[in-house]
Amino acid sequence: MSDLVATSSSSSPWVLFKEITKFRLSVSVLFSSLAGYALGAEQWQLTTFLLLALGGYCMVGASNVFNQIIEKDLDALMDRTRRRPLPAGLMSLSQALWLGVILTLIGLTVLYMINPKTAMFGAISIFMYVSLYTPLKTKTSLSVFVGAFPGAIPFMLGWVAATGSFGIESGTLFMIQFFWQFPHFWAIGWFLYSDYQKAGFFMLPTGKRDKGTATQIVLYSIWTVLASLIPAFHVTGTLELSLPAALLIGLLGLWFIWAAIRLYRNPSETVARRLMLVSVSYITLLQIIFVADKFLSL
């Protein structure tokens, strides 16, 4: 789950809610879940789709609320986060805590209404993000590895919501988004390196903006693309890709890998920021292609 969000000093209740739940990030994560649902659903059920949207947002929003409660003092040290509701004094800790608890209860209840497995994976996601990933950020760069697990759950969560089961299909969706987390996180960690240092966050695998980190970014970008193409070989159950869709994803993958190679060749904040934008475009377009390919191939 990326921490890159905008901040403002507005005290409007709606604006505060959006900021404390990291609205844009939550919506992007929710998009992954809804794409997974579209891939797994044999028959489109509007009720389930809407429950997933509501429950998914509540769970992701709750994770972000608890994250900001834990990191309130650290957020005050960084330029990009010091105007968030808690460090700016626009919301009290008790208000944030109550909001996080309420969102968690609503999210778990709504996801359980879909099926128990969906609620279980939602609970695992919020637990790992809040209790493991968040405190590890100030202790070890392995926090990115830990954070990749809850970050990869949403895509497969949608499949589980649609089918009620976890199998090779949902496992493949998880694997794609799991590998994708690393170049995405590390690109952010690269161009926000100085700001992260103020809070003592360890986000890069070597701890530095060096060739070692850049090499790992390239490698994980390659593994992400390779994992994305596995369904084209028809070895992942009912999750399949047609040849035209695989070619499109292959081209997107070359773009993604080239952006990572550019960072290796020109290790700058500007190139790292561009890689982050490419990574977001890659995963979003990949999910759109997967879904479009399913319905166009029917």
> pLDDT of 113-165, one tens digit each?
999 999 999 999 999 999 999 999 999 999 999 999 999 999 999 999 999 99
| Main-chain phi, psi angles of 8, to 5 degrees | -155, 175
Correct CATH for 11-165 of 1.10.3720.10, 3.40.50.300, 1.10.357.140, 1.25.40.80 = 1.10.357.140
> pLDDT of 154-205, one tens digit each?
999 999 999 999 999 999 999 999 999 999 999 999 999 999 999 999 899 9
Residue 298 pLDDT class (50, 70, 90 cuts): low
Neighbours of 22 (CB within 10 A): 25
In the chain, what percentage of residues exceed pLDDT 90? 93
Q: Domain map of the chain by residue range?
A: 11-165, 167-298
Q: Does the pLDDT at position 94 exceed 50?
A: yes
Q: What is the pLDDT of residue 12?
A: 87
Report DSSP letters for 44-57, one per residue.
--HHHHHHHHHHHH
pTM of the shown model:
0.92
Q: What is the pLDDT of residue 90?
A: 94
Residue pair 157/121 in contact by the 8 Å Cβ criterion: yes
Q: What is the CA radius of gyration of the chain?
A: 19
Two tokens, residue 110: 């709504």
Q: What is the pLDDT of residue 11?
A: 74
Two tokens, residue 183: 């170049």
Residue 10 pLDDT class (50, 70, 90 cuts): low
Two tokens, residue 46: 């509007």
Question: How far is 279 from 58, CA to CA, in rounded Å?
Answer: 25
Residue pair 101/163 in contact by the 8 Å Cβ criterion: no
